[in-house]
Amino acid sequence: MGKDFAKQYRVRKEPYYRTVANEEVLYEAAYARRMPVMLKGPTGCGKSRFVEYMAWKLDRPLITVACNEDMTASDLVGRFLLDKEGTKWQDGPLTTAARLGAICYLDEVVEARQDTTVVIHPLTDHRRTLPLDKKGELIEAHADFQLVISYNPGYQSLMKDLKQSTKQRFGGLDFSYPEADIETEIVAHEGGVDAEIAGKLVRIAERSRNLKGHGLDEGMSTRLLVYAAQLVGKGIDPMAACQMALVTPLTDDTDTVGALVTSLSTDIMPSRGSYPTAAINKGRALLEQAGAAVGEILLITDGGVSPAAERAARDLRGSGYTLSVLGVGTPEGAPIPRVSGGFVTDQSGTIAVPRLEERPLRDLALAGGGRFAMLSTDDRDIERLLSGEAGSRSAGDDSLATDQWREEGPWLLLLLLPLAAMAFRRGWVMLLALAVLPVSQPAEASLWDDLWLTKDQQAQRALENGSADDAAALFDNTEWRGVARYRAGDYRHQGNDSHTGERRATGDQPECSGNLHRRYRAEPDRHRGQ
C-alpha cells in the first residue's frame, strides 16, 4: 500500500468544528503518544465531526467504521475471498489503518458484539500488533496509527456495553451539547441562518433536553437543529421545518398526543368549579389501589382551597405520598372560552372570571410535602416540579406571560408530555381540578409567532399591543373579533360579530349592539389584555 492508496482516506477540506473546551489540546497530546481515545456523548453532539476535524488538522488518513450487531471480527481484520484465480486475502478496515498509519474510527462501538471488539485489544496496549490468525500473519501497527472509538452512554445496557477490559485501554473525552451561545453559533454557521433564528432553535432544543427521562428518551441534538436551520434557510416555513427535522425524528407519539389534546375542553368536566379535596382523595385512592408505597399527586388548579383540602393534603403526606401543585391563571383572572363559542357563565348568566389563588395553593403544596410552581411558557414550571425542593417558593416570579397555552400548540404539548411521562414512569397521578384557562398578561413579541401561535393567538398579541384593527382582521373567534372591533371604534361590525358567537354558543336571539357596548363598558378590566 502506497501513498496513492492512502489518498482516498485523506480529509481534503477543513471540516467546520467549533472548539468547546480543551478537547483539541487533549486529543493532540493523546495522538502524540498514540494513545487510543474513547469519545463519549449523546447522539448528534459532534463526536464524529471532531474526529474528522482532528484527522484533517493532523494530516492523517481517516478510516471510519460504522459498527453494528452483525459485524464480525473478520469484517474488521479481513478474510479470504474467491476470485477467478482462486483465493486471495482482503484486508479489513482495521488492518488497512494499521498498515497505512491511519486513524481508525469505530463509530458507536457498543453496537458491535463484545466478542468482536476483543480483536482490537492487541492494538491498544504496548504491543500495538494485530494478529491475522486466518492468514498466519502478525502485523505491527504503523508508527502513526491510532485507534478511536465512540458511543452514546445513554444507550448502554447489559447487552450493549463495553467490557471493562476494553474501556480501560482508552483515554476518554466526554462530549455534550454546547452552551447556548456556542450552539447558536454552530447552528447559524452550518444551517445558513441568522443568529436570531439559530438562537430560537437552540432554546427549543434546551426545553426538549429537559424532558429526557421524563417522556423523551433523548432531547433534540445539535445535528437536528442544523437540519431544521438548513430547511428554514431554503425558505421552508418554520413550523414545517421544525415538524420535519425536530419533532418527527424525536418521537413516534406525536399523533397520539395530538389526538388527545384536541379533546381537551372545559366542557368535559363533570361539574364546574374547583374541588381540590375530592381530587386529592381520588388521587390517594388510585395510588392505594395500585399498591404504590410511594407516589406523588400533581394537582392542576387555580384555587378553591379549603381547610378540608389542607387536612386531606396532610393526611396524604402522613400516608407516605406527596402533593405538588401547578397553579394556573393570573390574579387578575380571565374568562373561559367554550369550544362551541362564547364563554363560560355563572348561574346568573354573567361571564365567569376565575382568578388564581397563589398563596393558598402554596400553603396546600407545603401541607402535602410537595412543590409549587406557576404555569409558565418556558420550562421553569417543569424544572420546579422536578427539582425535589419541597414546600418552598419557586425562584423568581413565575407569573404567566402569555395565553398561548389555551390552544393546542407545541407549548401545550411540551407541558403534557412530561406530565404524562411522570404518571407512568414516576408514579405520579395527575388530576385536573380546573381545566386550563386563558391568561391575560401580555406576551413577549416574537418573530417566531407563525411557528407556535394560531391566528387567534396572533390576534391576541396584536390586541395587547394596541393594534385593534390588525387584531380584528386576524381573529377567527367571533367574540374576540367583536372585542377588537369595539376597541377600534367599529361598533356596527363589532355588534354583528359578538351576536354571531352568542347565537352559536347559546342558540338565543341576538341582543342589540348597545347592550353589548354597555356590557364592555361596565367590565373594562375583565376584558383588558384579552
8 Å CB contact between 408 and 456: no
DSSP structure class, residue 266: G
8 Å CB contact between 107 and 48: yes
pLDDT at 269: 58
Share of the chain above pLDDT 90, in %: 40
Q: Assign 495 a pLDDT band (cuts: 50, 70, 90).
A: low
Distances from the Cα of 142 to the Cα of 40, 109, 223, 482, angstroms: 26, 22, 34, 80
350 has pLDDT over 90:
no
191 has pLDDT over 80:
yes
412 has pLDDT over 90:
no
Q: Assign 142 a pLDDT band (cuts: 50, 70, 90).
A: very high
- What is the distance of C-alpha 3 from the center of its chain? 47
- Per residue in 212-229, pLDDT (tens digit) is 766 677 889 999 999 999
Round the average pLDDT of the chain to a whole number and report it. Answer: 78
Average pLDDT, stretch 41-46? 92
49 has pLDDT over 90:
yes
Rounded CA gap, 471 and 488, in Å? Answer: 9
- Per residue in 74-132, pLDDT (tens digit) is 999 999 999 888 899 999 999 999 999 999 999 999 999 888 889 999 999 999 999 99
Between 379 and 255, name the one with better pLDDT. 379
Q: Assign 30 a pLDDT band (cuts: 50, 70, 90).
A: very high
- Per residue in 371-384, pLDDT (tens digit) is 999 888 777 888 88
- Per residue in 424-439, pLDDT (tens digit) is 444 444 444 333 334 4
pLDDT at 178: 93
Sheet hosting strand 62-66, strand order edge to edge: 62-66, 103-107, 146-151, 37-40, 171-174
Torsion of CA 427, 358, 412, 236, to 10 degrees: -140
From the CB of residue 240, how many other CB atoms can be counted at a distance below 10 Å? Answer: 12
DSSP structure class, residue 13: S
Q: Assign 386 a pLDDT band (cuts: 50, 70, 90).
A: confident
60 has pLDDT over 60:
yes
491 has pLDDT over 50:
yes
Between 480 and 402, name the one with better pLDDT. 480
From the CB of residue 453, how many other CB atoms can be counted at a distance below 10 Å? Answer: 21
DSSP H or E segment with residue 326: strand 321-327
Report angle CA 76, 79, 83 to the nearest 5 degrees. 140
DSSP H or E segment with residue 130: strand 129-132
From the CB of residue 303, how many other CB atoms can be counted at a distance below 10 Å? Answer: 22
Between 522 and 410, name the one with better pLDDT. 410
Closest CA to 95 of 60, 55, 58, 129: 129
CA neighbours closer than 13 Å in the CB half-sphere of residue 207: 22
156 has pLDDT over 70:
no
- Per residue in 17-27, pLDDT (tens digit) is 999 999 999 99
Rounded CA gap, 133 and 131, in Å? Answer: 6
- Per residue in 280-338, pLDDT (tens digit) is 998 888 888 888 888 889 999 888 888 899 999 999 999 899 999 998 888 888 777 77
Average pLDDT, stretch 474-496? 72
Q: Assign 270 a pLDDT band (cuts: 50, 70, 90).
A: low
Phi first, then psi, for residue 79 (nearest 5°) are: -160, 165
300 has which bridge partners?
326, 432
Amino acid identity for residue 463 in this structure: L
Rounded CA gap, 231 and 469, in Å? Answer: 33
H helices of 104-253, in order, are 114-117, 164-167, 180-191, 195-209, 222-233, 238-242, 248-250
8 Å CB contact between 465 and 458: no
Distances from the Cα of 137 to the Cα of 2, 124, 144, 147, 205, angstroms: 20, 18, 20, 20, 51
150 has which bridge partners?
39
